């Protein structure tokens, strides 16, 4: 099938590559010539495991192309996926300018019946706005009501985890498709069914529903996952106070099949491109409709505060004035297996340390270049702080001579370090662990002063001996 993907970000690029992998003829279009140049030169503008190899195969087979030519992209695909960004507006609502611009382009250059698929995460009612934008362009061309230039707007939200997006697409647990119940919708259903046949061979994964329910499903899914994270983070702070171990609590409640273990890990807050903006957008949708989603407002508040918890532990241990102190920070991306720095906890933590006069040496196995770019923007009006922020190439470079280690992202390479070497590299054997990677008792036995999230802390004297 001939498919067009509008937008070559995480969602668009993964969608295009995976659809090309199973044999479709895919045309990826983007208004950013820099991205297209990188892709046409064999590179990938994002870090996503398995994506570069898949693009190499599909490009060699002639099943995927990249261009800035909007007219050609519309003429190419019978199915037009809109996978552009929907950044949060000032009030927290999703900014639909890029989605509607893509819709107008489809109407402007349409050369036949088109299935227009909203793949971007969009609020309830967006499909109707997309439909009106296309109709306006067709009317301007004198083609309004033309059967040849008919179209149907479909909602097909993505459920891809950054760092595992390729696998999630190729082995989906569900495919949600929202389609209008009319003649155009019937044609769209047949095309979408044919497109997704390879993913339904073992068992049917596709859930058909009305468009508004499909749009709502995406936000509801992310809001539920964010709620679980904030719930555990809130409990972890109480565990700190009452002396409970949140990891034991997690195992205790997760063993209940009605609850399960997923997304029950306490830490220093969630980030990324999805949870923060989707929680805000769903809460804003409620407000626009005269409702208040009180749980989601609490979820957002807990997550905001959670990004300060690790800093508070550092200040309590080492004092408010951190001038002359150096901190090694392991992990800058918002999660492992990605270089995405959007809403990353590291941004708040590092800035808080710098504001208190500390020097920070940050290490991330993938996100170093993106972190340098992001912090340069974040600290543009604080050049003195920027001078005390260093990005290093290895874990060892971060550790040597630092007063303490701060762990922010749970990369695999951080899970089993040489603790003897780590202890000797630091000026003082202190670890502030925002992801609960290690066992407190083991750290104590090794003479490491270990502070985690919602886990017991054992006091050590200056020589590392248990008090």
Task: Say if CB 314 and CB 406 are below 8 A apart.
Answer: yes
Return all residues near 261 (Cβ < 8 A) that are at least 6 apart: 250, 251, 254
Closest-CA residue to 273 (of 349, 374, 364): 374
Flag whether 131 is marked binding.
no
Phi, psi torsion values for 4, nearest 5 degrees: -115, 135
Between β-strands 175-178 and 206-209, what pairing exists: parallel, antiparallel or unpaired?
parallel
Flag whether 159 is marked binding.
yes
Flag whether 35 is marked binding.
yes
Flag whether 218 is marked binding.
yes
Flag whether 444 is marked binding.
no
Flag whether 169 is marked binding.
no
Closest-CA residue to 422 (of 395, 389, 387): 395
Flag whether 277 is marked binding.
yes
Q: Is 420 exposed, middle or buried (0-12, 13-18, 19+ CB in 10 A)?
A: exposed
Task: Say if CB 318 and CB 404 are below 8 A apart.
Answer: yes
Flag whether 121 is marked binding.
yes
Flag whether 231 is marked binding.
no
Give the whole-angstrom CA distance, residue 263 versus residue 230. 9
Closest-CA residue to 278 (of 259, 303, 260): 303
Flag whether 263 is marked binding.
yes
Give the whole-angstrom CA distance, residue 11 versus residue 202. 25
Flag whether 405 is marked binding.
no
DSSP H or E segment with residue 433: strand 430-433
Flag whether 266 is marked binding.
yes
Flag whether 310 is marked binding.
no
Q: Which residues are catalytic?
A: 274
Closest-CA residue to 160 (of 255, 225, 95, 103): 225
Return the bridge partners of 419, or none: none
Flag whether 264 is marked binding.
yes
Instruction: Output the known binding site for NAD(+).
Output: 30, 35, 86, 121, 162, 277, 342
Instruction: Output the known binding site.
Output: 30, 35, 86, 121, 159-162, 218, 263-267, 271, 277, 335, 342
Instruction: Output the known binding site for substrate.
Output: 159-162, 218, 263-267, 271, 335
């Amino acid at each position: 099938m001939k498919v067009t993907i509008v937008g070559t970000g995480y969602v668009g690029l993964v969608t295009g590559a995976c659809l090309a992998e199973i044999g479709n003829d895919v045309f990826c279009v983007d208004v950013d010539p820099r991205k297209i140049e990188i892709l046409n030169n064999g590179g990938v503008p994002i870090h996503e495991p398995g994506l570069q190899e898949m693009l190499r195969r599909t490009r060699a087979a002639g099943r995927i192309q990249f261009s800035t030519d909007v007219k050609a992209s519309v003429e190419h695909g019978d199915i037009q996926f809109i996978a552009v960004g929907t950044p949060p507006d000032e009030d927290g609502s999703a900014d639909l300018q890029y989605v509607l611009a893509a819709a107008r382009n489809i109407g402007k250059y349409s050369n036949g019946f088109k299935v227009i698929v909203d793949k971007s995460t969009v609020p309830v009612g967006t499909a109707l706005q997309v439909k009106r934008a296309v109709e306006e362009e067709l009317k301007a061309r004198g083609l309004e009501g033309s059967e040849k230039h008919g179209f149907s707007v479909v909602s097909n939200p993505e459920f891809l985890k950054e760092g595992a997006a390729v696998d999630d697409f190729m082995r989906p647990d569900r495919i949600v498709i929202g389609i209008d119940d009319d003649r155009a919708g019937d044609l769209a259903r047949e095309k979408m069914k044919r497109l997704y046949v390879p993913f339904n061979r073992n068992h049917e994964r596709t859930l058909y529903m009305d468009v508004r329910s499909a749009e709502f499903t995406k936000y509801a899914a992310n809001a539920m996952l964010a709620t679980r994270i904030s719930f555990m983070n809130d409990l972890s702070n109480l565990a700190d106070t009452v002396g409970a171990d949140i990891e034991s609590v997690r195992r205790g409640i997760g063993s209940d099949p009605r609850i399960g273990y997923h997304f029950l890990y306490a830490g220093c807050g969630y980030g990324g491109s999805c949870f923060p903006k989707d929680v805000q957008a769903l809460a804003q949708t409620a407000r626009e409709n005269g409702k208040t989603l009180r749980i989601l407002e609490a979820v957002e508040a807990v997550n905001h505060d959670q990004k300060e918890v690790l800093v508070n532990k550092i200040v309590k241990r080492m004092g408010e004035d951190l001038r002359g102190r150096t901190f090694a920070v392991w992990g800058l991306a918002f999660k492992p297996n990605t270089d995405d720095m959007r809403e990353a906890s590291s941004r708040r933590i590092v800035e808080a340390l710098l504001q208190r006069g500390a020097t920070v040496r940050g290490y991330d196995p993938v996100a170093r270049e993106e972190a340098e770019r992001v912090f340069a923007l974040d600290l543009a009006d604080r050049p003195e702080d920027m001078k005390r922020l260093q990005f290093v190439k290895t874990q060892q470079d971060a550790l040597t001579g630092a007063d303490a280690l701060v762990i922010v992202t749970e990369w695999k390479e951080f899970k089993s370090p040489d603790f003897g070497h780590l202890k000797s590299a630091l000026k003082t054997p202190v670890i502030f662990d925002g992801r609960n990677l290690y066992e407190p008792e083991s750290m104590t036995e090794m003479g490491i002063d270990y502070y985690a999230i919602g886990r017991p802390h054992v006091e050590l004297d200056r020589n590392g001996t248990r008090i």
